[in-house]
Every structure is written in C-alpha cells, then in structure tokens.
Structure 1
Amino acid sequence: MESQSEIREFFKNQTIFITGGTGFIGKVLIEKLLRICYDLSVIYVLVRPKRNKSPNERMKEMFDYPCFDKLKTVYPDYYKKIHLISGDCNQVGLGLSSEDRNVLKKEVTVVIHAAANVKFDLDLRIAATSNLRAVRDILDLSKQMSQLKAFLYISTVFSNCNRSEINEEFYKPAMKANNLFKLLESIDEGVLTTVTPYITQKWPNTYTFTKCIAEDIIRKEANNLPVAIVRPGIIISTYEEPVAGWVDNYYGLIGIVVGILMGGIRNLFAKKDGVVYCIPCDFVANVILAATCDLAKKSGSNQLTLSSAKNEVGNVKIYNYVGSSKRRMTARLLKNSFDKYKWKYPLNNMFWFPFVNYVESELWFEIRLFFQHTLVAYIADLVLICLNKKPIAVRKAIQVNKLLKLFSYFGKKTLTISCNNVDNLWNGMKEVDRKLFNFNMDDFHWEHYWKNALKYGRVYLVKDPLETLPWARKKIMLFAILHYSLIVVFCCWLFMFIYRML
C-alpha cells in the first residue's frame, strides 16, 4: 500500500521544517506525518521558550499529549525523527542561531508555516510582529534553501471576511505591510489603541486583518518559490485522527462551546440557518499534506510557473477549505446537537443549566447580554461577597461579552466561499490517498461529530473524566429543575403584576 500512495511516497526522505508545531494544528500535523509517513527523513520543529519553560521542556511536554499515544504504540522510537530548532516567530529572523539557520538552508525540502497568534483581541503591534514579520522572515529563509520543493502557508478563509464573496485568489489588503510597520514605529501604545479600529477598517479584528496582509506579503515576495496557501475555516476538535474529539485549546468556537456547556454563555448573535464554516483539525491537516504533495509534484514539472489562471499568481495556488456544500454546518444543527448531547455528556463543573439562544437583532442581543450575563454576574458576585469569597463573576462576564461581540460580526455576515482548488485536489487523488488523507466532507455526519466532540472534549480539554458522568447527569437535572422553576416563578410574578396594573 505504501508504494501506491503518492503522498507517502512524496514525503519519503523529505526534511520538513514546521513553525507552530506546538500549536493545535501543528501537533496534529506532526503526529500524522510521523504515523503515516514515517519514512520521512526528519522534522525540524521551531519552538520558543514560554512561561519560564525552555524549548526542550516544551517539546518534551508536547509529546505527553494524548494525541501522540497511537504514534508511540506504532513507532516507539518516533523521537529520532524530531529535531528541535530553538527560535521565536516574534523575534527578528525567527530568533534562529547562525548554526541552525545554516542547517535549515542546506537540508530542508518542505516548509509548513503554521505559526500565528490567533487571538481576536490582540494588540495590533503584537499581531503584526507574529503574523506579518514572521512570514517575511521565513520567506527570506526559504529563498536560501537550496533543496526546497514546497512551502505551505496556513492562512484562514476569514482573511478576506470584509468581502461577501471569497474566491481562491488574492485580494487587495487595506494596508501594505511596509506602511503598517512604519506606522507602528511612529506612534505610541495609547494612540495605537485609539486608531486601531480606523486602521483595520472593515476587518472585525487584528487577527483577520494581519492575515490578509500576510497573504499580500506572499503574493509580492514569494517570487518563484513553490508556494501554496491553505485557508481553512474555523478549526475545531478532531473527527477521528489520531483520536476522536481531541482538542487542546479554548480559542474561537471551541471556547464558546465550552462556555455554553458550563452555563456561562446563554446568547449568541447568529442566524439560525446561517452557515458555520468549521472544520475538524484532522481534516485540515490532511488537506495541508495533500496540497504540499500536489504543489511539489507540479512545481517539479514546471506546471505552476507563471500561470495565468485567475486563482494563481506566479506559482502561488490558494485552497479555500470550508468542508462540503452538501453537508454544511448550520447554527441550528449546532444547537440541536448541544440540546441532545448535553444531557448525555454534561460537564461536571458546570455552574448553571446549559442553554443558548440565537438572537438576530443587535439591540435585543445587547439587552439579553445585560440581563442574562452582566446582571446575573453582579448578583453572583454579591452572593460571593456575602460568603466572604472573592468576587470574580463580573470580570468573567465582561470577558465573555467582549468575546461574543467580537464573534457577532461573523454571526450577522453571509459569506459565499468557492473551493474549486480543494475539489480538484480531491478529484486528482488516488483511492489509497483518499483513505489515508481524507478531507472530503460530502458524507460528513455532523451530529455524530458533535457527539464525540462533547464526549471526549470534556476529557481532553476540561480534564473531566468519563467516570464523573453519573454525578454530572444528576447535576444537570438539578440545574434544569432550578432553571425552569425560576422561569415559572418569573412568569407568575409577571402575570400578577400585569393583572394588578390592569
């Protein structure tokens, strides 16, 4: 079977350099490469010190995650294929030593740039350093790699969310990278905070804004490098590989889902039948690896050079990956899945009955946030103060409300996204590669996905073992009784109030 797989055959003896390897998508990529393409030569992983931990300590901790358990069983000596490169995308030149830089120049054949700061409310200066300068630095380094066959940049389909229609092509950013850097050098933090909304213009946050500019850097500076861009939708927990429902962070939709299940998020600004462009992490990893192989194959045969196709500039092909139009994930389907499986797999540390309402009116959304989030938080803090405990509810509610308002941009916007290159990539793959690197979602079962996501997400992310389910199920029943009892009491009071007024 190995000889029949074009993708496995391509990665055989390849030397791969990955940035963002300690991140969510990075871990899944590394695990898939080592488990399925073990005949590769070596994977160099860029790791920076963080939270008083050295790169070596972080690397060792990374392989303690459950996502690597299957790999360790199949290939116990996997660590021989992994080499640490100490560096930092926030530093000039990626913070590489001259020795490591020389090694990468001589040996690397494939670069996958997955590193990015994905926080929505990030300071523009930090976002520009992480998401822009690092792209330019790794491009400069790649131009000096004598054996480079493929450079994959992982962007986001929301990099151009200021548009209603997003095709697999480059779009003009609101600002050029050089102009942004000059601006950031000339103003202080206070002024920057004030002018950021004017700088980002129609982009909802600094993350999507800088990702759009990053693509423009690639468009202008990739030259004749074999480059491709993968734009995935919202990356969520794994579907089945290496294990079902694995996730390691609270970013984006994952954090909102946990907030709902904890009982802290009760309202979302969204259209009930609106499409939610979310993609399981293992499917994203598969499309990245398939695109890398396809890029190297075509660049080697000079099929990409100076293409005049609309969806290519020079040798840069773009892949919008948001699943299948036949199996769209909608807000209604998401809510129905929650309502069904929250009873079966509730969180043991929930603090109220989990429920969520979709609101399509901005005014009504603000009103509901005040009464069901902010006001409830003040009451909770009052109770904590009476119990001689530290009040934390209001601070948490402010953070949650800020996150929900940031996401409300996507809840009210309708996007049309074309994925022709992804479809063509799939259609051109052999059957064996389709099985090994599946990313086709025409027959994807979303309800089954969310069942596993809620079941195993509580284990991997919330650290809530399945053994606590019996108590958690009793707890959710108790909260449900309290929740609906309060609603009945409030309705009776309202009825009596109106009756007396009349």
Structure 2
Amino acid sequence: MEMPTVPEFYAGRNIFVTGATGFLGKVLIEKLLRCCPDINGIYMLMRPKRGHTVAERLKDLVESKIFEKLKTTSPNYGEKLHAIAGDIMEPDLGISQSDAEFLANEISVVFHSAATIRFDEPLRVAVTMNLLAVRAMINLCKTFKQLDAFIHVSTAYANCDRTHIEETVYDPPVDPQKIIDALEWMDDETVEQLTPGLIKPKPNTYTYTKQLAESLLLNEGKGLPLAIVRPSIVTASWQEPMPGWIDNLNGPSGMYIAAGKGLLKSVLCDSDAVADIIPVDMPTNMLILVGWYTATHKPREVLVYHSTTGTVNPFTWGQMVDVGMAYFKDQPLNACFRRPKLALTVSPWLHNYWMFVSHMIPAYVTDLAFRLAGKKPRMVKTYNKMHRSLSTLNFFTLRTWEWTYKNIDCLKKALSEEDKKIFYYDPRLIHWPSYIENYCNGTRIYILNETLTNVPAARAHIRKLRNIRYVFNTVVIVALWRFLVARTDIARNLWMFIMTLVYKFVRMTHITSTR
C-alpha cells in the first residue's frame, strides 16, 4: 500500500501542541500551516501570562512576524489556530473537563515541546514542568480515541554525562518517582542544598529532568504511539520562515549580541570544541516527519531521533566566534559600548582575570559616571547577570559529543523526494559561515529591531571608540614611562627626544593641513 505524503497525512487532522508560544513551537506551527495547508486545526495549550489573557496571547501569536509569508498565501490562516486554556504547572495541565473531552475526540497527533529550558531552574520547578507535565500529557493522551502519534521534544544533552550518545532511552540514575516523592516532603531550602548531589553528574536541573522524563515516557506511556526527538542547541533559522529568524536571547544569541555590543570580552570555552548548534527549522521539520512516520509505519518500539550537527557537519566554537566577530566589525550594531572583540580561553584563572579587567573595571567606572550625571547605575548589575548566564554554558562550551543517526537513516528511506525537499532536516547542507552571518543579522533585526541603514553611523561610532582607546592607551603608557621608568638621565633624555619628535610631527602635520 502506497504511503501518503507528509502533507496528505496531515490533511484534515487536528493537532495538539504544547509550548506553541516558544521558539520551536512557533516555527512548528508556521511550517504546519504553510506546508500542510489542508490541516484542519491546531490546538495549543496556553496560559495567561504577564497580565495578558489566553485570547490576547492567541491574537499576539497570530499577528507575529513569523507568519508574514503565510499572510500572502493563506490570509485566513488564523482561523485554524485555537487556544486551549491550561498550564503545565497545574494538575492535569489545568485543562477544563469540556476541553479535555474535545481533545479526546478530535486530536490525532500531539507535539509536546513545553518545558523550562532554564539551566539554573530550581529543581522543584524543573521537576514540575519537565517531569510531572510529561506524566499529565501521558494520562491525557491515553484518553484520545484516535491518537496516531505522540512526539516528545527532549534534548540531545539529556545524557550529557556520556560522550557517545545512541538513539536509546538510557536508564536514569534514579527512579523518577523517587524524586517526585522526595520533593513532596522536602522544603525549598533543603531541596536547594541537596540539588548538586542529586543531579550529579549532570551539570544542571534541565538535563537531569529531561533524562528522567524520557524514562517516565518509556515506562508509563506503554501502548501509546510515542517517539522522542532530541535537538541540540536550537539557534536561528537556516532558511524558514526566513533566514536568521530568532526571537530569544538563549545560548549563542545572547553571547553574539553581548559581544557585538562590545560588552562581552571573554568566554570560558574551548575554541576547538564542536559547537553543536542546530537551526530551528531542522528540528521543526524532523518533528513533522517523525509524526508522519510514527503514524504511518507504526514502529514496535519508542524510537529516538537526534537533531544535531556535530557528528556530520562539525563547526567549532572558535570558528563560530571568528565569523561572528568579523561580521559585527564589518556591520556593527548601534551604540556599542566598546569595539566587538571576544577571546576564548580554557583557563579559569585567565578567564577570571579578563572578566575583572575587561568587564568589571569598565562597569564600575561607567556606573560612577552615571551617578555623577545623575543617572541610575546599571552596568555592574548587567555584567553580574551576564556572568551568571554564561556560567551555565561552561559545561557545553568545553566539551564535544558524538551522536548516532540510525533511526534518521530509516526515516530518510521512507520519504519521497518531494517531502525530503520540503521538510529538510540534514545539517550536512549547511554552509556555516553564511549561516552565522545570517544568524548575527537576525539578532540585529528580530531582537534588537535595528536595520542596516544605521550601519554607517554605527561604523562612525566604532571609529570614535577606537580613537578613544588609542588615546587612553597612549596616556597610560606615557604615565607609566614618566613616573615609573624615567628615573635616570638617559631615560629623561630619551623622553625629551621622543617628545621633540612628536612635537615636530604634529607641527608639520598642522602646517601641511593649513596650506
């Protein structure tokens, strides 16, 4: 029997998505609407947030810039998007009985991408969002009468304590239920004190709870058409919905902006380690394909798919920084604090030294100037926040991993040539230098809301900063020479000789320019 194409499979179906307002979720919804135009409806779990109701958040999503391409081809796309009020922090996901009954009768494909991605999230919150929410999703999906696929978004770093990671769900260090039970009687202070020991050898609560969630899926989701997709570090889009699209400061995005603005000067990072970043459109396409494959081929076991780049198209952190800094030097951002330049080092001592010299001293001097001008100081606070954020990445910027891709090879064989083109997922196609340039440009356009028309003024500002730096360095050298070195007659005579030459050069330059 001939298998339906991917768009044919999704035609007439109702899809349930959690994490729809997140980075990956938005791209997933846009791709489904644009490339599977006959889809019946997409139902998204949403909660009120920051004073905005569920209806208001749905409206904001529909009007998002990510749907600009869709507006020209399918102007009524918003009619297929529906909000289901709920919250993954609540029991039973906070879904009403009537909505739960509707979902049970109408949904056939589920994408669960909602999670906390904060590396330093308190363990109790991480367990609630990344573990208990998965259990609630399993229980909900067991009520679905026509469920064909339940795709869970995990992370390639769920097993980051290994260097070679296969497409399998590894046994967790502890039974997930034991952690859930322990958190019920522990107070927050006790949990905070015990967290480092509990999650060891994992570097953070995110990777720890993601591994526990996979185990929970395998054990409690028996009988469900499950599959797991593990993306690595999800970054700006490669091609769709537009090159360089990004809407957050997570991971390399924040690093690029901070370095491009001249704020960030040093990162604890192995320049030869592989930066396993994956453009967001690739795991998005893989999610859609895995949903199709799980429903049409009905694998007998839970398959795991890696959406990573390091093994098949490696690109190091050093190369990534070099291309990014070259771009920002040629196309600088507005109102840079200093000239863009970023050093990578594996030495904690050297990194701490540069943080003190290049970050904290300028921060305190700038805040002093703010106070004298009657403004509120902010640079020290900004740098402290940036340092805390970067410290959570150290584990990943100092190591390299390898992943296997057997299940992806099987998926590839099952696809038609047309589906391979529409739902591309092979990172070997990426040309990293051009991708990084688009990535940097995307941070400018979609996060900072800057345009290339401001580049000439930004270049003039960079030249001004360069001249200030030259003057400052010259003054420092002169002062050191004058007060620390020039103590002998020979040194004083040499000093007078140099000053005479400088005076003559300046005078001749002035005379020439006035003629």
Instruction: Rate the CA distance shift 1:464–1:106 in 2: closer, same or farther, 3 A.
Output: same
| Secondary structure of 2:427 counterpart | coil
- Once the two structures are superposed, what CA deviation does each residue of 1:304-344 show, in whole Å capped at 9, x if it has no partner? 22xxxxxxxxx210011112644212112212211221133
Q: What residue is the counterpart of 2:313 in the other structure? A: 327
User: What's 1:312 paired with?
Assistant: none
Classify 1:146/1:459 alpha carbon distance in 2 versus 1 (closer, same or farther; 3 Å): same
Equivalents in 2 of 1:482, 1:161: separation in Å?
A: 45
Name the residue aligned to 1:446.
Answer: 432
Query: Deviation of residue 243 (structure 1)?
Result: 1.1
Using the TM superposition, name which of 359-368 and 320-329 deviates more: 320-329
The 1:139/1:484 distance shift into structure 2, 3 A limit, reads farther
User: 2 CA distance for matches of 1:100 and 1:4?
Assistant: 32
Residue 256 of structure 1 and its aligned partner are, at CA, apart by 1.5
Within a 5 Å distance, the mapping from 1:401-412 to structure 2 comes to 401-412=387-398
Going from structure 1 to structure 2, the CA distance change for 1:371 and 1:245 (only over 3 Å counts) comes to: same
Aligned CA-pair RMSD: 2.1
Counterpart CA distance in 1 for 2:243 and 2:228 is: 27
Instruction: Supply the AA of the counterpart residue of 1:454.
Output: C
Q: Using the TM superposition, name which of 322-331 and 224-233 deviates more.
A: 322-331
Counterpart in 2 of 1:228?
227
Matched letter for residue 262 of structure 2? G
Q: Show the 5 A alignment for 1:387-466.
A: 387-466=373-452
2:339 corresponds to: 353
**Aligned residues of 1:325 and 1:442 also touching (Cα < 8 A):** no
Corresponding residue number in structure 1 for 2:497: none
Q: 1:37 to 1:392 in 2, by over 3 A?
A: same
Partner of residue 67, structure 1: 66
* Letter of the structure 2 residue corresponding to residue 363 of structure 1: W
Structure 2 residue matching 1:343: 3-state secondary structure: helix
1:127 equivalent in structure 2: 126
TM-score w.r.t. the length of structure 2 is 0.90
The amino acid across from 2:223 in the alignment is N
C-alpha change, 1:496 and 1:337, in structure 2 (3 Å) is farther
Q: Is the 8 A contact 2:14 2:40 kept in 1?
A: yes
The answer to whether the Cα contact below 8 Å between 2:310 and 2:401 also exists between their aligned partners in 1 is no
Q: 1:496 to 1:120 in 2, by over 3 A?
A: farther
Contact 2:274 2:310 (8 Å CA) reproduced: no
**Equivalent residue, structure 2, for 1:308:** none
Task: Tell me, yes or no, if the aligned pair for 1:324 and 1:440 is still in contact at 8 Å.
Answer: no
Matched-pair contact (CA < 8 Å) for 2:275–2:310: no
Matched to 1:457, the amino acid is T
CA shift for structure 1 position 457 = 2.2
Cα pair 1:263 1:355 within 8 Å, conserved? yes
Relative to structure 1, the CA distance from residue 10 to residue 381 in structure 2 (aligned partners, 3 Å threshold; closer, same or farther) is same
Q: Contact 2:131 / 2:209 at 8 angstroms: preserved in 1?
A: yes
Deviation at 1:246, TM superposition (A): 1.0
| 1:76 corresponds to 2:75 | yes
Alpha-carbon offset, residue 470 of structure 1: 2.1
> Residue 153 of structure 1: CA displacement?
0.4
Q: CA deviation at 1:157?
A: 0.4
TM-score relative to the length of structure 1: 0.92
CA positional deviation for 1:5 = 7.0
Counterpart AA for 2:294: L
Distance 1:294 1:501 in 2: 81
- Which of 337, 359, 364 aligns to 2:323? It is 337
Contact 2:269/2:345 (8 A) holds in 1: yes
Q: 1:498 to 1:59 in 2, by over 3 A?
A: same
Aligned to 2:265: 266
Runs of 4+ in 1 over 4 A off after TM superposition: 484-502
Q: 2:360 & 2:195 partners in 1: Cα distance?
A: 27
Instruction: Give the aligned partner of residue 309 of structure 1.
Output: none
Which residue identity is paired with 2:302? V
Deviates more, 1:200-209 or 1:422-431: 422-431
